[in-house]
Structure 1
Amino acid sequence: MATPVDPDFRARLAALNDKFAATVPVTMAKIRAALDACVAGGAQPPQDAVHQLHELLHGVAGSAATFGFPVLGQESRRIEQMVRATMAGHGEWPAIVPEVEKLLAWAARDAKAGAFE
């Protein structure tokens, strides 16, 4: 086996993974707050709240797999795309709410789980 160019690489990567893991509950709380703001708007959620929800999901979708949370990233991407479609006038807002609720409940149980159930 070849010697890595940077012998501390794995240790630094593990530290970054731990740092990301520590942010997951805070990020999920922000997603909850954005969803709550959307739901409070009724059938037509405020665009700023929808945008915030989209940005949060986009952030998780883009980084979760890198730090050892591939399923969290996949599901966040799937829901982010639903939100994006709604923002573009092609999706239906009511279908998004239970999907975000399911993501939040699943992440609260084990955001690093290998299957989304």
Structure 2
Amino acid sequence: MATPVDPDFRARLAALNDKFAAAVPATLDKIRAALDACKADGAQPSHAALHQLHEVLHGVAGSAGTFGFTVFGQEARRVEQMVRAVLATDSGWPPVVPEVEKLLAWALRDAKAAQYD
């Protein structure tokens, strides 16, 4: 068995995992705020509002899996791609809203769950 170069690696990784988990409620608040800003714009959100929603989803998609929130990251990536398509085409916004709402409701129950329902 190989000896780790940094004997404190596991402890530091666990601390980072705990920090990510503790930040999940604030992250969900950011997603909610970005969604609310998009919805406030009416039928078609502004690019600025969509960009903010995309950015926060992108952040979750890129980091959640690293810290043991695999499904949360995968679903954030899926919804992020929907938002990216809206940004690119200026269409397709209405189906995104319930997907973001579903992601938020699921993550509020258990963002570390292994199944998305």
| TM-score normalised over the length of structure 1 | 0.96
Task: Give 2:94's aligned amino acid.
Answer: P
1:44 maps to 44
Task: Give 1:23's aligned amino acid.
Answer: A
Structure 2: unaligned runs, 5 residues or longer: none
Equivalences, count: 117
Report the secondary structure of 2:95's partner residue.
helix
1:1-117 mapped onto 2 (5 Å cutoff): 1-89=1-89, 91-117=91-117
Could you give the per-residue CA deviations for residues 9-61 of structure 1, whole angstroms, max 9, x where no partner exists? Answer: 10000000000111111011011011011111111112211110000000000
Alpha-carbon separation, structure 1, partners of 2:73 and 2:29: 16
Q: In the alignment, is the contact (CA less than 8 A) between 2:44 and 2:91 conserved in 1?
A: no
RMSD over equivalenced CA pairs, Å:
1.0
| TM-score normalised over the length of structure 2 | 0.96
Alpha-carbon separation, structure 2, partners of 1:9 and 1:45: 44
Moved over 2 A (4+): none
Structure 1: unaligned runs, 5 residues or longer: none
Identical columns (%): 75
Alpha-carbon separation, structure 2, partners of 1:33 and 1:104: 11
Report the secondary structure of 2:44's partner residue.
coil
